[in-house]
């Protein structure tokens, strides 16, 4: 505002300059054009009268010029004495001073005159400082989010808000059970300071709106913004309501500050609809719900909850909906139709927002009128079913802006808000206390720290749908992978028809590459029983056992087959394991069923379809027992010689460094997180199974084959870095000591065996 006020003083000065400088110039040039003739020798000369007149006129012009100059000096002195407006610098005003923000809007009167001026010019015309949001004031945001896809979308929205924000945030999520689980895990592991989360069960709200027929693709969840006054806490006075397909390009506090502009009975802050939908001229016989002019878009709403409750909002929208449905039969745009019908009858409820607060990118919008420059953009709304494929003059720019947040490293948004008191997060406090107790001078500090690192986790990144078999024999394949093993997914899906739980260690950008890969794969998209759980990259080690634990934690079958991504299970292993559950009475005994592991050095292998065929390839040298030449101890207790002729399951004893691939009950112990990267990660887990008195039973007709691939980065570090190997040895010894303390006398054997990696 200061810039605008200063601008007016400059305008006054400039106006005087524009008026007087040309006048002065004209006067000067005019005086210079007079030709001074020689004085006559006689007063009777006929030219003497003309000369006298010219001289007199010249004197008059000089006097006039002097008067103008004196007047101009007086005006300058007067302007210099005008009172100055206190300085309130802001990025917003600077952008206007730089002639970057020239916003246009075609909104027409539903709010008061000030709101109309704001919609037309993007700001108030008064030289009064705008109300600011206290830096520690919490901003409340409500979002309806249901399902797997919406959960992904809302993460990008939240990233864009977090990126610009300078205030504490309080999100209110109205979710189904799926989205609640996904978002609860995500925010718990994200650990963003000064962000609070509340969840509200959308299933409990369905009865409030299920009576309204709705043709919109959002379904019943597209109507739930109507019941926010009833859903949100009664002491919450105001809230910003957002669709999941929103991207912020500015600090949300600027939008929160607009509440101060509400006057009279205004309770809704909305942007005018930027398409002709409510004008009814999009196609022949198009009959929209009633709306005021072009109507309003509900992708961004400012709700004054306390005033809405006093106005009996619940009763107001219900009566309106019932009346209109008698002729309209159903809604086409979900809650937006009902909001507009209410506003049509009660226009005084609306404070019209400038259109840059909801730049709508659907095919039939006129959003280009909301902006001329990048600085104009505040909120971008992908309100078309086509989303990023929508037709728009500047869609490439908007798409790139969206992709910036989509692929932005969310770990960088864990920024502290300095100077604001905040409630203590016990998880964060305990973590900081634990980390502070670690010795940073310890050569193995980074290894020890990794055990306590909280990795941001997005479970069920893609749609998942599977109900376990009712006979309590169902089993899920569990594995983990990084981007360089992605090509194994299709092959595993072809070999294993049962449910799969996968933990993927990816960056934000890699997660989007994976999404495109999966959505472009007919094999993967044909499977709804594969759960993909993203663990976002952080730190310098591959957290292999954390990934396994994440995948295990999402298993919903009674049993799980603990595998690795570079192994292909034999065809039919899923059904074979289910039959073994019954045969070996897994429900009443503690058993770990061992699936013998083999390997090939060939990238193209005629995969054996039976044990007999596998034995033939073993004899021909096409296949080998797994790691027979570099790590025999890892699978030696499986007793491959006995397996060749075995027809019934047989029990084997635990030995040092034993690390078979096993099927166990879902309640079996987790992997120890201290082991990262390469070395002893499976060995420690098998040791703990043995300590808990699991029996190791080898299945005579089961097998899996390791497929060749380039060495991982972690095994390269293990082989080349002496300190890596030293630290691994230290961690092994500490683990063995912990086992001895936990399991007592029975665990002494783990201390005495010679465990050399």
Indicate whether 17 pLDDT > 60.
Answer: no
C-alpha 244/C-alpha 240 separation (Å) is 13
Indicate whether 71 pLDDT > 60.
Answer: no
> What confidence score (pLDDT) does residue 543 get?
95
Indicate whether 355 pLDDT > 80.
Answer: yes
> What confidence score (pLDDT) does residue 710 get?
65
Kindly state the average pLDDT of the residues 391-408.
84
pLDDT tens string 464-492: 999 999 999 999 999 999 998 999 999 99
Of the ranges 417-431, 446-460, 522-536, which one carries the lowest mean pLDDT score?
Answer: 417-431
Strands 350-353 and 296-304: unpaired
Closest CA to 313 of 229, 220, 208: 229
Indicate whether 41 pLDDT > 70.
Answer: no
Q: Which residue has the higher pLDDT, 135 or 231?
A: 231
Share of the chain above pLDDT 70, in %: 77
Alpha helices per DSSP H over 123-241:
147-164, 177-190, 202-209, 228-231
Strand order in the sheet with 597-599: 567-569, 704-706, 597-599, 624-625
Look-up: residue for tokens 């990084």? 482
> What confidence score (pLDDT) does residue 338 get?
95
> What confidence score (pLDDT) does residue 686 get?
95
Indicate whether 35 pLDDT > 90.
Answer: no
452 near 176, Cβ under 8 Å? no
Indicate whether 193 pLDDT > 80.
Answer: yes
pLDDT tens string 257-296: 999 999 999 999 999 998 888 887 767 777 898 999 999 9
> What confidence score (pLDDT) does residue 712 get?
64
> What confidence score (pLDDT) does residue 287 get?
85
> What confidence score (pLDDT) does residue 680 get?
80
* Average pLDDT of the chain, as a whole number: 82
C-alpha 92/C-alpha 254 separation (Å) is 10
Kindly state the average pLDDT of the residues 543-553.
97
Burial grade of 675 (CB within 10 A; 0-12, 13-18, 19 or more): buried
Q: Given pLDDT bands bounded at 50, 70 and 90, which one contains residue 54?
A: very low
pLDDT tens string 604-625: 889 999 999 999 999 999 999 9
Strand partners, 500: 477, 530
> What confidence score (pLDDT) does residue 103 get?
36
Q: Which residue has the higher pLDDT, 741 or 202?
A: 202
Q: Given pLDDT bands bounded at 50, 70 and 90, which one contains residue 121?
A: very low
Kindly state the average pLDDT of the residues 718-740.
82
Indicate whether 1 pLDDT > 80.
Answer: no
> What confidence score (pLDDT) does residue 280 get?
76
> What confidence score (pLDDT) does residue 11 get?
42
> What confidence score (pLDDT) does residue 362 get?
73
Classify residue 219 by its DSSP letter. G
Q: How many CB atoms lie within 10 A of CB 389?
A: 11
Q: Given pLDDT bands bounded at 50, 70 and 90, which one contains residue 512?
A: very high
Kindly state the average pLDDT of the residues 675-703.
92
Residues in the chain: 757
Kindly state the average pLDDT of the residues 545-570.
97
Q: Which two tokens mark 239?
A: 């809230």
Q: How many CA atoms lie within 13 A of 520 on its CB side?
A: 7
Kindly state the average pLDDT of the residues 672-686.
88
> What confidence score (pLDDT) does residue 228 get?
97
DSSP letters spanning 22-49? HHHHHHHHHHHH---PPPPSSTT-TTHH
Of the ranges 46-50, 331-335, 429-433, which one carries the lowest mean pLDDT score?
Answer: 46-50
Q: Which residue has the higher pLDDT, 342 or 123?
A: 342
DSSP letters spanning 357-382? GSEE-STTB-GGGG-SSGGG--EEE-
Helix, strand, coil shares, percent, the chain, to 5: 45, 15, 40
Three-state SS sequence of 691-719: HCCCEEEECCCCCEEECCCCCCHHHHHHH
Neighbouring residues of 695: CB distance < 8 A, sequence distance ≥ 6: 589, 590, 591, 592, 651
Q: Given pLDDT bands bounded at 50, 70 and 90, which one contains residue 84?
A: very low
Strand order in the sheet with 359-360: 246-248, 379-381, 359-360
Of the ranges 250-259, 306-315, 500-509, 730-739, which one carries the lowest mean pLDDT score?
Answer: 730-739
> What angle (nearest 5°) sits at the alpha carbon of residue 247, between those of residues 244 and 250?
135
> What confidence score (pLDDT) does residue 425 get?
62
Tell me the pTM.
0.80
Of the ranges 92-106, 401-415, 611-625, 676-690, which one carries the lowest mean pLDDT score?
Answer: 92-106
Closest CA to 505 of 463, 565, 449: 565
Kindly state the average pLDDT of the residues 337-351.
95
Neighbouring residues of 66: CB distance < 8 A, sequence distance ≥ 6: none
Q: Which residue has the higher pLDDT, 375 or 586?
A: 586
Q: Given pLDDT bands bounded at 50, 70 and 90, which one contains residue 750?
A: confident
Indicate whether 127 pLDDT > 90.
Answer: no
């Amino acid at each position: 505002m200061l810039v605008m006020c200063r601008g007016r003083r400059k305008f006054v000065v400039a106006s005087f300059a524009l008026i007087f400088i040309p006048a002065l110039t004209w006067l000067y040039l005019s005086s210079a054009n007079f030709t001074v003739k020689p004085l006559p020798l006689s007063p009777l000369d006929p030219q003497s009268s003309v000369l006298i007149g010219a001289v007199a006129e010249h004197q008059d012009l000089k006097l006039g010029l002097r008067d103008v100059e004196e007047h101009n000096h007086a005006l300058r002195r007067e302007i210099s004495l005008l009172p100055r407006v206190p300085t309130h610098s802001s990025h917003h005003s600077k952008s206007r001073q730089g002639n970057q923000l020239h916003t246009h809007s075609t909104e027409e009167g539903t709010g008061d005159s000030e709101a109309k001026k704001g919609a037309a010019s993007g700001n108030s015309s008064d030289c009064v400082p705008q109300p600011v949001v206290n830096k520690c004031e919490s901003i409340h945001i409500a979002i309806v989010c249901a399902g797997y896809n919406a959960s992904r979308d809302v993460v990008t929205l939240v990233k864009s808000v977090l990126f610009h924000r300078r205030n504490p945030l309080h999100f209110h999520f109205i979710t189904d059970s799926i989205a609640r689980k996904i978002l609860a895990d995500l925010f718990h592991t994200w650990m963003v300071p000064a962000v609070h989360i509340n969840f509200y069960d959308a299933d409990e709200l369905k009865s409030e709106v299920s009576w309204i027929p709705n043709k919109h693709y959002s379904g019943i969840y597209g109507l739930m913004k109507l019941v926010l006054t009833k859903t949100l806490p009664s002491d919450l006075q105001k809230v910003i309501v957002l669709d999941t397909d929103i991207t912020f390009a500015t600090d949300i506090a600027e939008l929160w500050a607009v509440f101060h502009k509400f006057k009279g009975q205004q309770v809704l802050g909305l942007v005018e609809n930027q398409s002709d939908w409510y004008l009814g001229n999009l196609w022949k016989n198009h009959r929209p719900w009633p709306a005021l002019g072009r109507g309003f878009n509900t992708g961004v709403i400012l709700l004054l909850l306390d005033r809405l409750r006093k106005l009996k909002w619940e009763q107001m929208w219900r009566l309106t909906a019932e009346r209109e449905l008698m002729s309209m039969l159903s809604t086409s745009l979900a809650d937006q139709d009902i909001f507009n019908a209410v506003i049509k009858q009660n226009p005084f409820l609306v404070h019209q927002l400038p259109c840059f607060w909801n730049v709508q990118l659907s095919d039939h919008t006129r959003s280009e009128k909301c902006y001329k420059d990048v600085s104009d953009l505040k909120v971008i709304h992908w309100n078309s079913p086509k989303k990023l494929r929508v037709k728009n003059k500047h869609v490439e720019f908007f798409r790139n802006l969206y992709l910036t947040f989509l692929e932005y490293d969310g770990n960088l948004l864990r920024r502290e808000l300095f100077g604001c008191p905040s409630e203590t997060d016990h998880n964060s406090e305990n973590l900081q206390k634990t980390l502070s107790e670690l010795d940073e001078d310890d050569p193995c500090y980074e290894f020890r720290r990794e055990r306590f690192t909280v990795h941001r986790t997005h479970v069920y990144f893609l749609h998942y749908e599977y109900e376990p078999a009712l006979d309590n024999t169902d089993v899920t394949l569990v594995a983990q992978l990084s981007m360089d093993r992605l090509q194994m997914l299709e092959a595993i899906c072809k070999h294993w028809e049962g449910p799969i739980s996968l933990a993927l260690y990816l960056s934000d950008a890699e997660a989007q590459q994976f999404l495109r890969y999966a959505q472009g794969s007919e094999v993967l998209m044909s499977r709804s029983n594969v759960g993909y759980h993203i663990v976002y990259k952080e730190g310098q080690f591959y957290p292999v056992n954390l990934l396994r634990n994440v995948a295990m934690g999402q298993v919903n079958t009674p049993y799980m087959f603990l595998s690795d991504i570079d192994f292909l299970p034999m065809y039919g292993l899923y059904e074979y394991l289910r039959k073994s559950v019954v045969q070996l009475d897994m429900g009443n005994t503690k058993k770990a069923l061992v699936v013998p592991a083999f390997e090939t050095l060939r990238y193209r292998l005629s995969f054996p379809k039976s044990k007999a065929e596998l034995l033939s390839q073993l004899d021909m040298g096409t296949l080998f027992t797994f790691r027979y030449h570099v790590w025999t101890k890892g699978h030696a207790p499986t007793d491959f010689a006995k397996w060749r002729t075995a027809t019934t399951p047989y029990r084997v004893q635990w030995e040092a460094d034993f690390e078979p691939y096993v099927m166990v009950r879902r309640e079996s112990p987790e992997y120890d997180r201290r082991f990262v990267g390469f070395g002893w990660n499976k060995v420690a887990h098998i040791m703990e199974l043995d300590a808990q008195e699991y029996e190791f039973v080898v299945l005579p007709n089961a097998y899996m084959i390791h497929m060749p691939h380039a060495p991982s980065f972690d095994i390269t570090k293990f082989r080349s870095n002496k300190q890596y190997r030293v630290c691994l040895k230290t961690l092994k010894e500490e683990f063995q000591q912990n086992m001895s303390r936990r399991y007592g006398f029975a665990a002494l054997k783990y201390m005495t065996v010679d465990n050399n990696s």
